[in-house]
């Protein structure tokens, strides 16, 4: 039976179905035939929301192609690996089902892609599998070369979930059969191709390694784990040689930011989340969950929890828990090779995300997805940016707000501005509660809405409405502050502070400004930073209000907006003192 497949390499990426702006349909169906499972998705990439990669249907078939290849215990050492006939039938029938679903959604035939990875590359009877798929569903399979698997999975599949990676990051992807590692820095030209071409592939996937750990004698286990550590160290050294930025971060006092994807590593993230000091952890998904390097390195504790905890661990299947010793071995080898870790972020991205992301023109790919999500009309953009400039002026010039996780540094500005004047007919306390819950639950999987971004948005909008919360919401509010504070101790304060500044803006300009003059002629902020006599950080904010806008405004109410900014639960006073002055604006001053 002839192969009905093509090999996708870095040189022929254009062979995949393209995204065309004026196409009649922008629905794309993708089947990702991974080693541990087969995933099917339908995505709506209609402009102008193409960057959001909105998935409208997803299903996973629990078929392990890796296990199927290695199912024959009687196979002689070195003999070819083959799929059993029953697996071929199961896979072909599953893809026939996926094809029917795609047809029911109206996905154009040309926009349906089936992608296969390592298991299909290794199978001696891959042609039989490919032929059966073709016969049952009419679908051809595209087999990804290792560099393309790195591009779609470890690089762009993960990167697509973020506004940018402008600090550079080490990306690690763990599948069933192999582990990929590379360096990504979105400031570099053609960074995605460079990252994929330099990517390191190591044959230590979760399914493969657990077989060694469970079935092989002690000397083989010792040999394989030793090879894993040596391979990981050599791979990291080569990446440092190829990318000076990687070596620079590794040698810096701050350390590297790491991004991990693939089911195995997400499983490690789920155990970390289960053990997080913040309980209940306020955001459900492990996608974009960030931990400090110190917490990440507690592998012995995570092994113990996996072994001894009898209950359900959120996000962990029985299979993943069974594979956890192999996952922990890879993590420990990584820690030994890369000791200077600042943060680790777990990513939900996959070949599906990377494939779709690479279809987009570079201008759209590298755009801020949060601005797309905000949906600010083009005619309102000048006003929105002026509002952001106004809020930025409330931050003392001495404060490097761009280096602190905030609405500015994370690209949340337009999304935040959109919410300043929303729901003004509702009760403030209800709005404060709504802000917390909406931020952590809205738009699941939206690129850019990381756990850190959701926390900042929740705290800032809640503060805009006064943050007067009931007992249940107080606990959520506190946990979001702790989540954010674990990453940067300054971030919770500035989320609160900018929310309070937005509240003052809405007090003085009570509706979306119809013009720039509506805002700038009625309000101006000036801020300075210094220390109190007791060496406590102090922000002095002067609020200049026009004589007309000042009528009916209670100065004490304005000052009260900042009374609890930055206060943590149980603290007598906030971490910084905010002193507010209200002055009538000198209309002659520009």
In a domain, 482, yes or no: yes
What pLDDT, on the 0 to 100 scale, is given for residue 224? 96
What pLDDT, on the 0 to 100 scale, is given for residue 275? 97
Say yes or no: 235 and 309 in one domain. yes
Q: Is 50 exceeded by the pLDDT of residue 365?
A: yes
What 3-state class would DSSP assign to 112? strand
Quick one: which H or E segment has residue 354?
helix 351-359
Neighbours of 210 (CB within 10 A): 20
Query: Residue 370 and residue 452: Cα distance in Å, rounded?
Result: 14
What pLDDT, on the 0 to 100 scale, is given for residue 420? 97
Contact 549, 510 (CB under 8 A): no
Least confident residue range of 281-285, 333-337, 531-535 = 531-535
What pLDDT, on the 0 to 100 scale, is given for residue 74? 67
Q: Is 80 exceeded by the pLDDT of residue 72?
A: no
Say yes or no: 84 and 32 in one domain. yes
CA 366 from chain centre, in angstroms, equals 15
pLDDT band at 527 (very low <50, low <70, confident <90, very high): very high
Query: Residue 49 and residue 448: Cα distance in Å, rounded?
Result: 14
pLDDT tens track for 217-232:
999 999 999 999 999 9
pLDDT tens track for 408-459:
999 999 999 999 999 999 999 999 999 999 999 999 989 999 999 999 999 9
Say yes or no: 425 and 564 in one domain. yes
Quick one: which H or E segment has residue 234?
helix 218-242
pLDDT band at 118 (very low <50, low <70, confident <90, very high): confident
In a domain, 416, yes or no: yes
Mean pLDDT of the chain: 94
Chosen domain end from 115, 144, 173 = 144
Q: How many domains does the chain have?
A: 3
pTM (2 decimals)?
0.93
Neighbours of 49 (CB within 10 A): 15
What pLDDT, on the 0 to 100 scale, is given for residue 513? 95
DSSP 13: G
Query: Residue 440 and residue 282: Cα distance in Å, rounded?
Result: 8
Say yes or no: 138 and 169 in one domain. no
Say yes or no: 137 and 167 in one domain. no
Q: Is 90 exceeded by the pLDDT of residue 460?
A: yes
**Rounded to 5 degrees, what are φ and ψ at 35?**
-70, -30
Residue 302's domain is classified under what CATH number?
3.30.420.150
Say yes or no: 405 and 529 in one domain. yes
Residue 460's domain is classified under what CATH number?
1.10.3210.10
pLDDT band at 78 (very low <50, low <70, confident <90, very high): confident
pLDDT tens track for 543-563:
999 999 999 999 999 999 999
Query: Residue 473 and residue 141: Cα distance in Å, rounded?
Result: 50
N residues, the chain: 590
438-459 in b/e form (b: 16+ CB < 10 A) is: bbbeebebbbbbbbbbbbbbbb
- DSSP-assigned letters across all residues of 15-58: GSPPP-TT-S--EEEEEEE-SS-EEEEEEE--TTSGGG-EEEEE
Query: Residue 508 and residue 460: Cα distance in Å, rounded?
Result: 18
What 3-state class would DSSP assign to 82? coil
In a domain, 356, yes or no: no
Contact 29, 14 (CB under 8 A): no
How much of the chain, in percent, has pLDDT values that exceed 90?
87
Query: Residue 479 and residue 470: Cα distance in Å, rounded?
Result: 14
Say yes or no: 41 and 110 in one domain. yes
Query: Residue 14 and residue 385: Cα distance in Å, rounded?
Result: 37
Chosen domain end from 112, 144, 176 = 144
pLDDT band at 586 (very low <50, low <70, confident <90, very high): confident
Contact 257, 167 (CB under 8 A): yes
Say yes or no: 451 and 577 in one domain. yes
What pLDDT, on the 0 to 100 scale, is given for residue 1? 35
In a domain, 149, yes or no: no
177 Cβ contact list (under 8 Å, min separation 6): 35, 66, 117, 118, 119, 122, 203, 205, 207, 208
Strand arrangement, sheet containing 141-144: 5-8, 141-144, 112-116, 27-33, 38-44, 54-61
What pLDDT, on the 0 to 100 scale, is given for residue 161? 95
Say yes or no: 260 and 325 in one domain. yes
Query: Residue 421 and residue 387: Cα distance in Å, rounded?
Result: 12
In a domain, 70, yes or no: yes
What pLDDT, on the 0 to 100 scale, is given for residue 573? 82
Query: Residue 63 and residue 84: Cα distance in Å, rounded?
Result: 12
Residue 134's domain is classified under what CATH number?
3.30.420.40
pLDDT tens track for 504-523:
999 999 999 999 999 999 99
Q: Is 90 exceeded by the pLDDT of residue 70?
A: no
| Beta-ladder partners of 30 | 41, 113
What 3-state class would DSSP assign to 255? coil
Distances in Å between the Cα of 223 and the Cα atoms of 209, 217, 227, 251 are 12, 10, 6, 30
Neighbours of 474 (CB within 10 A): 14
Distances in Å between the Cα of 355 and the Cα atoms of 8, 153, 257, 504 are 11, 8, 24, 45
In a domain, 151, yes or no: no
Contact 540, 530 (CB under 8 A): yes
Say yes or no: 407 and 464 in one domain. yes
pLDDT band at 534 (very low <50, low <70, confident <90, very high): confident
Across residues 36-59, what is the average pLDDT?
96
pLDDT band at 36 (very low <50, low <70, confident <90, very high): confident
Chosen domain end from 348, 382, 416 = 348
Across residues 87-108, what is the average pLDDT?
98
Q: Is 70 exceeded by the pLDDT of residue 73?
A: no
What pLDDT, on the 0 to 100 scale, is given for residue 575? 86
What 3-state class would DSSP assign to 488? coil
Say yes or no: 337 and 297 in one domain. yes
In a domain, 500, yes or no: yes
pLDDT band at 66 (very low <50, low <70, confident <90, very high): confident
Say yes or no: 405 and 478 in one domain. yes
In a domain, 132, yes or no: yes
Q: Which two tokens stand for residue 58?
A: 């997803």
Range of the domain at 561: 369-584
């Amino acid at each position: 039976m002839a192969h009905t497949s093509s090999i996708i390499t870095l040189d022929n990426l254009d062979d995949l179905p393209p995204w065309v702006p004026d196409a009649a349909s922008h629905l794309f169906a993708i089947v990702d035939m991974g080693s541990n499972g087969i995933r099917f998705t339908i995505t709506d990439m209609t402009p102008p929301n193409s960057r959001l990669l909105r998935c409208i249907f997803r299903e996973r078939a629990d078929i392990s192609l890796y296990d199927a290849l290695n199912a024959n215990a009687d196979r002689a050492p070195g003999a070819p690996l083959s799929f059993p006939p029953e697996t071929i039938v199961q896979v072909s029938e599953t893809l026939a089902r996926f094809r029917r679903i795609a047809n029911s959604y109206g996905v154009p035939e040309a926009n349906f892609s089936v992608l296969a990875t390592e298991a299909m590359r290794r199978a001696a009877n891959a042609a039989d599998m490919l032929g059966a798929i073709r016969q049952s569903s009419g679908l051809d399979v595209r087999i990804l070369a290792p560099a393309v698997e790195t591009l779609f999975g470890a690089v762009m599949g993960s990167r697509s979930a973020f506004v940018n990676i402008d600090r550079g990051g080490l990306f690690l992807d763990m599948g069933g059969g192999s582990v990929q590692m590379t360096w990504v820095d979105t400031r570099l030209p053609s960074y995605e191709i460079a990252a994929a071409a330099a990517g390191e592939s190591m044959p230590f996937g979760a399914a493969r390694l657990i077989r060694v750990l469970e079935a092989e004698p002690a000397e083989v286990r010792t040999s394989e784990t030793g090879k894993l550590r040596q391979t990981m160290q050599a791979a990291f050294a080569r990446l440092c040689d190829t990318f000076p930025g990687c070596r620079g971060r590794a040698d810096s006092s701050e350390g590297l930011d790491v991004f991990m994807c693939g089911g195995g590593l997400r499983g490690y993230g789920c155990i970390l989340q289960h053990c997080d000091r913040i309980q209940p952890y306020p955001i459900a998904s492990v996608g974009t969950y960030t931990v400090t390097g110190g917490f990440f390195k507690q592998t012995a504790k995570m092994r113990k929890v996996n072994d001894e905890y009898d209950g359900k661990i959120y996000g962990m299947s029985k299979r993943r828990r069974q594979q956890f010793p192999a996952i922990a071995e890879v993590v420990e080898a990584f820690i030994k090779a890369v000791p200077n870790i600042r943060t680790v972020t777990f990513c939900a991205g996959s070949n599906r995300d990377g494939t779709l992301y690479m279809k987009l023109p570079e201008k759209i790919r590298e755009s801020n997805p949060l601005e797309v999500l905000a949906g600010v009309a083009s005619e309102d953009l000048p006003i929105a940016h002026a509002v952001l400039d106004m809020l930025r002026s409330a931050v003392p010039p001495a404060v490097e707000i761009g280096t602190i996780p905030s609405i500015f540094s994370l690209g949340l500005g337009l999304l935040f501005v959109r919410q300043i004047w929303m729901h003004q007919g509702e009760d403030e306390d209800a709005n404060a509660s709504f802000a917390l819950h909406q931020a952590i639950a809205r738009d699941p999987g939206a690129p850019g809405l990381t756990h850190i971004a959701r926390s900042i948005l929740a705290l800032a909008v809640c503060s805009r409405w006064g943050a007067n919360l009931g007992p249940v919401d107080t606990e959520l509010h506190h946990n979001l502050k702790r989540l954010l504070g674990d990453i940067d101790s300054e971030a919770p304060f500035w989320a609160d502070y900018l929310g309070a500044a937005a509240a003052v803006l809405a007090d003085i300009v009570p509706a979306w400004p119809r013009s720039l003059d509506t805002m700038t002629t009625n309000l101006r902020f000036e801020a300075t930073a210094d220390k109190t006599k007791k060496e406590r950080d102090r922000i002095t904010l002067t609020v200049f209000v026009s004589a007309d806008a000042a009528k009916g405004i209670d100065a004490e109410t304005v000052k009260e907006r900042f009374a609890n900014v930055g206060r943590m639960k149980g603290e007598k006073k906030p971490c910084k003192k905010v002193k507010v002055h209200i002055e009538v604006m000198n209309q002659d001053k520009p």
